[in-house]
Amino acid sequence: MMLSHRVLSVAIFIVCILGGIALMLFSTYLIPICAALLGIVVILLVRFFMNADASVFDRVLYIVSPSFFFLSGIVFFTFLERPVWQYLILFSIAVVTVIYMENAYKFLWKLPEYQYSALSNVSSYMYLLTVFFVTVTVFDLQFFFGISTLMLMIIAVVFGLFIFYAYIRSQKVLLTSSKLYAVSFALLFIEMIYVLTFWPHIPLVKGVVTLAFVYGMMQMLFLSIRDSFQTSKVIRTLGIVTFVLCLVLVTAQWK
C-alpha cells in the first residue's frame, strides 16, 4: 500500500513537470494537452483516494480540490511570458500537489504519523493559490479575448461556492454551518470580482488584490472556528492585508 501510494505521488509530480514542458514546446495544442494532463491527474488521484476510509463526498473533495488547483495553475502558466516564471510556477504546482497528497495519505492511512492540522494548513495554501490562479486567468481571458462580464461572474459564482465550501470542510466546520459560511464568503468574493472589473489594472494586480482579500476572509474564519478571536491576531491579519494592498496598488502597472 505504501509503495503504491508513493508511486502515484511521484507520478503526479512527473506529469506536472513534463506536461508543463510539453505546453512550452507545443503551445499550439494548448487545449488538447491541458485536457490530457487533467485527465491523467484525475485518474491518478482517483486511484490514490479510491480506498480511503472517508465518505464518498469527502473523497470527491480530495480528488476535485487538487485537480482544480492543477488545472488553474496550468492555465495560469500558459499566460506567463518569461520562462523563468513558467518553470517556477510549474515546480510550485508539482510540489504543492505532492505535499497535499502526502499529508492526505498520512491523515487517511497513517494517522499516528500525521501532524495535527497539517492537511488543513496545506489545503489553505492550495486554495489561496487556486484563488490567485483563477482570478488572474479570468481577467486575462477578459483582457485578451473579450469575454463578457456576465461570463466572468458565472465563473466567479461556481468557483467561489466550491473553493470556500471545500476550504470550510477542510477546517472541519459542521455541515449545517459550512453551507452558510460558504454562501456568505462566495457572495463577498463575487462582489470583489465584480468591483475589480472596473479597475484599470492589469490582471496580475487584480489577482494579488483578490488573494489578499480572500486571505483576510480565511484567516478571520479560522480565528472564529478556533475560538481565538483575539484583538492582536485580528489586527495582525488586517495589517498584513492592508500592507499587501497598499504595496501592490502603489507599485501597480496600469493598462
pLDDT tens digit string along 194-223? 888 887 778 888 888 888 888 887 777 777
Q: Which three cell numbers stand for residue 82?
A: 518569461
Mean pLDDT, range 104-122, rounded to an integer:
81
Last residue of a domain, one of 114, 136, 152: 114
Q: For residue 42, which of 66, 14, 13, 6 has the smallest C-alpha distance?
A: 66
Its domain, for residue 167, covers 116-255
Distance CA 54, CA 178 (A): 18
Spatial neighbors of 74 by CB under 8 A, at least 6 apart, are 19, 20, 23, 34, 37, 38, 93
Distance CA 4, CA 6 (A): 5
Residue pair 77/89 in contact by the 8 Å Cβ criterion: yes
CA distances to 12, 169, 212 from 40, in Å: 8, 26, 32
* Domain co-membership, 121 together with 91: no
* Domain co-membership, 67 together with 120: no
Q: State residue 253's pLDDT score.
A: 60
- Is pLDDT at 225 greater than 80 in this prediction? no
Q: State residue 171's pLDDT score.
A: 67
Q: 184-191: long-range contacts (C-beta < 8 A, 24 or more apart)? A: 185/160, 185/217, 185/221, 186/157, 186/160, 186/161, 187/160, 188/217, 189/156, 189/160, 189/164, 189/213, 189/214, 189/217, 190/153, 190/156, 190/157, 190/160
* Domain co-membership, 139 together with 82: no
Last residue of a domain, one of 49, 82, 114: 114
* Domain co-membership, 75 together with 183: no
* Domain co-membership, 139 together with 233: yes
User: Rounded to the nearest 5 degrees, what angle is found at the Cα of 35, between the Cα atoms of 104 and 210?
Assistant: 65
* Domain co-membership, 120 together with 218: yes
Mean pLDDT, range 229-233, rounded to an integer:
67
pLDDT tens digit string along 44-96? 888 888 877 777 878 888 888 888 898 888 888 888 878 888 888 888 888 89
pLDDT band at 177 (very low <50, low <70, confident <90, very high): low
* Domain co-membership, 78 together with 127: no
Helices and strands, counts by H and E, the chain: 9, 0
* Domain co-membership, 69 together with 169: no
Last residue of a domain, one of 82, 99, 114: 114
* Domain co-membership, 162 together with 242: yes
Q: Tell me the Cα Rg of the chain.
A: 18
Residue pair 170/119 in contact by the 8 Å Cβ criterion: yes
Q: Which three cell numbers stand for residue 225?
A: 472556528
* Domain co-membership, 215 together with 254: yes
Report how many domains make up the chain: 2
Q: What's this model's pTM, rounded to 2 decimal places?
A: 0.84
* Domain co-membership, 145 together with 123: yes
* Domain co-membership, 32 together with 110: yes
